Amino acid sequence: MEQQYEMAKSLEGLYNGMLHMGSLVEEALRKALIALSNWDDELASAVIDEDARIDGRQIELEDECTNLIARMQPVGADLREIICCIKTLTDLERIGDHARHVARSLTKSAGPHYSSMLPRVRVLGNKALAMLHDSLTALIDRDAEKAQQIAYRDSEVDELHHTLTEDALAIMKTETQGVEAGQQIILLSRYLERIGDHVTNICQWIVYARTGAHVEFDR
């Protein structure tokens, strides 16, 4: 009974740590999108600088997971919870990387085509951001059903990415001055589409932790 209590307390601490890291990642993505919309170089630089904090938090929490496995030798549902934590930490760190990439993509040299397509990039980014926020809630609530619903929303992100990429390629083919703009938009769109994929991964691990089933949601 004492060991069960200690395990439950340790897992709760891990989940709280993941929520904190997830909040850092969510804030980084939100700031990166605002920086894009407002041409805010200072805010973009802050996102880039803060990525080291996210990376450090990942290492700390992964060490906690390793120590917990060594100390408690969990099995069954408890082990699945820890595996979910480790896998989720990896996806959160990669989302943080993509937020940094978005911030680094801020440019004032790509011309009017870049500026005109940024609002559509922001729509795509907001959908990815909303998925991330909701997945963190599902993670803390251990809500496998909600996680599944969130994962299915990735198709909306994929569709927006597809149309943005097609339109950017069309500009690149027809207008020489639109080449740099098209390249930048495609990169931005791809970073945000990948965030949706990583959120989907998190949702899959939530389902695994609660049910033991390995699922792969359609993308």
Taking the C-alpha atoms of residue 133 and residue 22, their distance in angstroms, rounded to an integer, is 8
Asked whether residue 219 is assigned to any structural domain, the reply reads no
Each residue of 65-83: pLDDT tens digit?
999 999 989 989 999 999 9
Q: Which two tokens stand for residue 88?
A: 């989720």
Tokens of 111: 């011309």
217 domain residue, yes or no: no
pLDDT at 59 over 60: yes
Condensed to tens digits (0 to 9), the pLDDT of residues 15-34 reads 999 999 999 999 999 999 99
Residue 130 lies in a domain: yes
- Structurally, the chain folds into a number of domains equal to 1
Quick check: is 167 in a domain?
Answer: yes
C-alpha 8/C-alpha 196 separation (Å) is 30
* CATH number reported for the structural domain that contains residue 28 in this entry: 1.20.58.220
Q: What is the value of pTM for the model shown?
A: 0.94
Range of the domain at 50: 2-211
Strands (E), 50-152: none
**Tokens standing for 66?**
């390793």
In a domain, 84, yes or no: yes
216 assigned to some structural domain: no
47 lies in some domain:
yes
